[in-house]
Chains A and B, each alone.
Chain A
């Protein structure tokens, strides 16, 4: 039965990105204006000296060590390892045994290219007639669901699972689906989020689309020239408020609003008047029963592509009639972590609310001609009771989340 009066709360979170593992690493980087972008060291691409990426500093072996996996063990894709590290971080504040024994646990994961980071190096071998166990055991990682199931197995969880792939809004969608599954009583607690590893496939794909900046990205700047790709993972534990309180959980935030709308404009470009983004943000406010003025910080999608920032900027400007709350994009810190971005940024938004501190939008110099509004470029102290986080993806997949102070 659908039950919406009980609020959906966040009782634990964990993440990993180019800034490091855990919330403290992220808030410290925001405070020190220290970007995680660098030339890739783990990703073996011919373009390594050309592109800056938000690469997780740890190698696969280092992640395995951290997770207590013997280095002789095989079959751990970087996608799975990054997701495992984020969940391990989340488990510092959640009892794993409780999750393992929960009869109705959910795990809603997201990624964009499954285990492509490894398959792309083995593909030509896979399509030969040669049988090679070392290569062939990676075949099933072609499926996006592989890392979801691998992560669940690794932590001894037996949850209802789903994997979502809606490009750059994927893990924001996991949060929505997990919350609705709670409201319908399909799960009693649900781990939601997503993880993606850098791959040559996505780097060359975005590069072919000519929207990768070779310098650090300049979100909402007139001279912006595209995005920097990144990798990472973020997971949140969602529960109903009543059950979280009953078990004495520390409630970090309330998921008070969410919205998913399609832009219906173009396969890879948002509506130029910002109508799609505006509809989505307005939808989340409506569900949260909040006026626009109640939002104290917007973590923008802000990829620094010409199209996104134009469209999203206009939408913010129009929705707040030229006077928006402080807003910033954290993409210049982490790179665009694709399927992980929604969850990583939701966590950064909640952390911003807890600390009453707006993360700065780096590299901003010149106002956009078409906008009268400016991103927040300095780490700013503001009382934050409600935060909005946007994730807009290919295929017109727009998602907005609103979190409120517990």
Chain B
């Protein structure tokens, strides 16, 4: 869908030091276990001591990330809150389902049950930010974050007044989750070091990740803001559909492919899915390309991290003076969906 969303703030909690932007990649953080767990943020700054004691790490991560996005945007109460998650509160779900089995459906604590509800995070954020507006939660695997962004695009188009939309995503990695999905062939076995993800492209599988990313997006431009202009969600993705989506973006934006000066790829190092990116070298023979899943690992809402990374890069002063302006984010997820996003730097920098 074509509808500009101006990025007022972008916050990510990931396996890298991304929560504090200036520490990002200083140095690169790695893992040799095949699991990239997120770096914890100072959660207690964002959640009351009473509430935080009962919260899973995922809830803390999500709420802190969302609240910090509001702070950085200077927005106390957004007009809407839209989240996406592939997995929801995995720890809470595991906790409750195991309790139920081990206690033989006996007396159980409802807290884990409540927090395993997929919209419990977006409801909590609404409560804390006093946002009585639109509240939505998408849970569609690899396009959960994308559907949240698409909803934000629709809201932006529906409002003649300036609006601030809090849009974000979260997914949690647990030992059980890793173990179970290993049986479905998701991961490279034996585990490899994360920074060498792209040196093991002969072995099936990828590395697991997690994280939360939140953005305050607006339909009104302000100075020095990057802009998420286009989003294409592709179901049952293949290289042809991805190429077609890229061509549509170029046509709708009235730009040539050579105007794209940076491509971020969600290639996860799994040879079984690399055919999705097969056409890109032909379409973009000279364009700078970067991959990001060695930084965050693979998860349903890794596009959220990719979007944060895109925003970070577009704000960075490049050493060679070649400031990228037009960025394509191309991602895919294990279970078949793919995404093309067009994100641009402000006209004058």
Contact = CB atoms under 8 A, between A and B. Distances in A.
Contact of B100 (A120, A142, A260): A120
Contacts of B98: 123-124
A254 interface: no
A131 interface: yes
Interface residues of B, number: 56
Given A200-B105, A262-B133, A112 B118 contact: yes
B176 A127 contact: yes
A396 B127 contact: yes
Contact of A204 (B87, B100, B126, B181): B100
Nearest to B159: A2
Interface string B204-248: 000000000000000000000000000001011000000000000
B151 A177 contact: yes
Interface string A316-359: 00000000000000000000000000000000000000000000
Contacts of B81: 262
B53 interface: no
B109 interface: yes
Interface stretch (B4-12, B134-142, B194-202, B316-324): B134-142
A162 interface: yes
B189 interface: no
Contacts of B113: 201, 204-205, 208-209
B131 interface: yes
A219 to B, nearest CB: 22
B286 interface: no
Given A165-B88, A208-B108, A264 B131 contact: yes
Contact of A184 (B110, B139, B140, B157): B157
Contacts of A45: 105
B339 interface: no
Nearest to A263: B132
Interface in A164-197: 164-167, 173, 177, 180-181, 184, 186
Contact of B124 (A131, A167, A261, A267): A267
A25 interface: no
B203 interface: no
A311 B183 CA distance: 47
Nearest to A169: B119
A136 interface: yes
A279 interface: yes
Contact of A162 (B97, B140, B183): B140
Nearest to B81: A262
B154 A126 contact: no
B126 A262 contact: yes
Interface string B100-112: 1100110111100
A302 interface: no
B118 A165 contact: yes
A165 B127 contact: no
A221 B309 CA distance: 54
Contacts of B236: 158
A140 interface: yes
Interface stretch (A33-41, A61-69, A143-151, A235-243): A143-151
A46 B132 contact: no
A148 B140 contact: yes
Contacts of B1: 184, 186
A396 B135 contact: yes
B116 to A, nearest CB: 8
Interface residues of A, number: 59
Contacts of B181: 139
A395 to B, nearest CB: 3
Contacts of A162: 138, 140, 143, 147
A396 B131 CA distance: 11
Interface string A234-262: 00000000000000000000000000111
A145 B108 CA distance: 28
Interface string A381-406: 00000000000011111000000000
B168 interface: no
Contacts of B100: 120, 200-201, 204
Contacts of A145: 86, 139-141, 335
18 contacts: A46-B104, A124-B98, A139-B184, A143-B86, A163-B139, A184-B154, A200-B100, A201-B97, A204-B108, A205-B108, A262-B123, A262-B134, A264-B130, A394-B117, A395-B122, A395-B123, A395-B135, A396-B135
Nearest to A135: B183
Contacts of A266: 127
B283 interface: no
A341 to B, nearest CB: 15
A393 B117 CA distance: 10
Contacts of B19: none
B98 to A, nearest CB: 7
B305 interface: no
Contacts of B235: 158-161
Contacts of B117: 112, 165, 167, 394-395
B135 A167 contact: no
A164 B137 contact: yes
A268 interface: yes
B183 A131 contact: yes
B136 A173 contact: yes
A47 interface: yes
Given A167-B118, A267-B120, 11 more contacts: A45-B105, A126-B183, A139-B184, A145-B335, A165-B118, A165-B119, A200-B100, A204-B96, A205-B96, A261-B133, A264-B131
